[in-house]
Amino acid sequence: MSATPPAPVPRHIAIIMDGNGRWAQQRGWPRIKGHEAGAESVQAVVRACRDAGVEYLTLYAFSVENWRRPREEISGLMRLLEHFLDRNEDELHENEIRLRVIGRLADLPKLIQRRLAKTSAATADYHRGNLILALSYGGRAELVDAMRGIAGKVAAGELKPDAIDEATVAAHLYAPDVPDPDLMVRTSGELRLSNFLLWQLSYAEWYVTDVLWPDFREADLHAAIDAYGRRKRRYGAVS
């Protein structure tokens, strides 16, 4: 009797980390407490992806729309990001995980830009895993920036309009060498894409859980991976 083949593990998981504010509100705490607790979930999920063999993990950490939040909350989030890098850079090196960042990074505070650039450069040669933080990110903004890049090449005579195809667009995205996500996870039960990886998630499997992000841990990620393994991906074809 032949053994059952192992369930497939997604090569790339993208996560919309939702529910920090509600988690804090349920406890009568300020929203920043939820973000602090959510940072612990990030650490847990990065380790779980490493152990499961997931090559790429993209986290929707701060959207272009998040700049509309109260100034004190934004400042707290930037401090949390800096603290996260301080606490986890050694672990990135130990596990040979590359840090990458996508988004309109020029919008971030200069100190944060320098800190991200430093850690990204220090881990650039690692190949055991990739942690991609989407910061000041929006899917529409990414497509606009891609179109500007393509338009610039057309204007310079480097590219003919009738030569533009899907591969051209993909090549002008923020991280063109990163494969599209196989699995998109959203916490807190919300059923929205929220302007996240609009191009890249075209054929991703979705997994939505009612668990709020600060409560999301290794077992929750494994549940998402197990659900993914039971699905049959068709890409529009007939099975």
| Nearest C-alpha neighbor of 144 from the set 116, 124, 174 | 174
CA distances in angstroms from 56 to 30, 66, 104, 236, listed in the order given: 32, 24, 20, 24
Pairs from 69-77 (Cβ < 8 Å, separation ≥ 24): 72/32, 73/31, 73/32, 76/32, 76/35, 77/32, 77/35
Write down the catalytic residue from 18, 88, 130, 182: 18
Contact criterion met (CB below 8 Å) for 184 and 202: no
- Answer for the pair 229, 205: CB distance below 8 angstroms, yes or no: no
C-alpha 15/C-alpha 42 separation (Å) is: 10
* 88 counts as catalytic: no
Catalytic, 18? Answer: yes
Its sign, for the CA torsion 11, 214, 194, 150, is negative
- Catalytic option among 20, 51, 66, 86: 66
Q: Which among 103, 100, 99, 120 is positioned nearest to 174, based on CA atoms?
A: 103
Question: Which residues have a catalytic role annotated?
Answer: 18, 66
